[in-house]
Amino acid sequence: MSAPNTTPQANIPEVDEAEILADIKEWAGIESPSKDGIAVNRVVDVAESAMETLGMEITRRPGRDGFGDCVIARSPWGGDGPGILIMAHLDTVHPHGTIDEALKLEERDGYLYGPGVYDMKGGACLGVAALRQFVRAGRETPLPVTFLFTPDEEVGSPTSRDLIEELGQANKYVLVLEPGRDGNKVVTARKGCARYVIRAHGRPSHAGMRHQDGVSAILESARQIAKIEVLTDYETGVTANVGLWTGGSGANVRPALAEVEVDIRLPDDASAEATCAFMDSLSPVDPEVRLEIEGGLNRPPYPKTDAIAALHEQAEALALEIGMESLDDTATGGFSDGNFTAALGIPTLDGLGVDGDGAHTEEERLLIASIKPRTQLIMRLLETLD
């Protein structure tokens, strides 16, 4: 990485905030819940068209298992050598109809509200705008740039992970356009995540006449829940959450089946290995119950390495050059596709998207004032990373 030019004003790129805001409104106006691949592809079409307009070399990978497509857009300059990978996902957690009532797309008090404006269509549009400025100026970045749009990050990236890792390993740096955190911070570390589904198979019987003949799957799953919840240790950073619990067929029937879904956040490789080994070794308390355990480590931990710290330092210096007050970094329990590339040892800087708040809620919003400086920051990173 080269040292940034710290001369005030000299390298501050021009950015059209109104144009970018209009882009964000267009993209966010297309609802794209993760599991509706057809809906997600409507946004993918817009992203692909934007990249084609910039003269990028496009590869579109068809989706599978009901998910949308992936789009890879490569700069026409720089050849095939390792460069900078920019990542953004186009799916959201919000169901269809959210934009009509619960979270209308509107400006209010310096914010733009709407489904996906913060997480993370706003960030995706910043990345497009940064590249657009280079193309319009007839300039090239020192390194080739590859932009990857994915359709399924919010549900664990089941169809895009292999592509993310493949492209990550082919590049020197990864910039992730997930939203900023806690007032203009970027992300340099994330917890990993393990996901499990545990099914208890008991034996049904009439709850009144033959209660003694049944074996309760719900009772067994409750015992397993008690084992799992004690994994939480706030000092080490491990948190375990049983978020869904279903079972039984009627109040008058001893339940033959119960199912729990578990989310575990893990700060490092050691905790991930130990916790996953524990989950895989769960056994029934009642020997008449059969346990079925599915799952494992969904996303590896994203540690702040020396290379990531150096990448943040460069970004922080560039932010001061632009006129931003600071660009502190933070670690977060939330995961992103940056987990995959960081775990492979590729310098990954995350949280470069818009500032704002309310991700995954009906108060999701982006801070309009963050659009211009954060686009400028992305541009300066692209022109100084080598």
Of 251, 269, 299, the residue at which a domain comes to its end is: 299
Give the integer Cα–Cα distance in Å for 263 and 196: 7
In a domain, 8, yes or no: no
* 350 Cβ contact list (under 8 Å, min separation 6): 176, 178, 186, 187, 188, 190, 302, 336, 338, 342
Q: Are residues 202 and 250 in the same domain?
A: yes
Q: Are residues 38 and 118 in the same domain?
A: yes
Of 271, 299, 327, the residue at which a domain comes to its end is: 299
Q: Are residues 176 and 63 in the same domain?
A: yes
Q: Are residues 109 and 203 in the same domain?
A: no
210: domain CATH number is: 3.30.70.360
Strand 329-332 with 186-190, pairing: parallel
In a domain, 72, yes or no: yes
Tokens representing 200?
Answer: 């208890």
Domain with 231, as residue range(s), is 192-299
Give the integer Cα–Cα distance in Å for 377 and 371: 10
Q: Could you tell me the mean pLDDT of each successive run of 10 residues in the chain, 386 residues long?
A: 46 85 98 98 98 98 98 94 97 97 97 98 98 94 97 96 98 98 92 97 97 98 98 97 97 98 97 98 98 96 97 97 93 95 98 97 97 97 96
Q: Are residues 52 and 99 in the same domain?
A: yes
- ∠ CA 184-178-82, nearest 5°, is 110
Q: Are residues 46 and 162 in the same domain?
A: yes
Q: Are residues 161 and 122 in the same domain?
A: yes
Q: Are residues 49 and 140 in the same domain?
A: yes
Of 281, 299, 317, the residue at which a domain comes to its end is: 299
pTM: 0.91
Give the integer Cα–Cα distance in Å for 342 and 263: 21
Residue 117: how many other CB atoms lie within 10 Å? 30
Q: What pLDDT, on the 0 to 100 scale, is given for residue 13?
A: 72
Q: What pLDDT, on the 0 to 100 scale, is given for residue 14?
A: 82
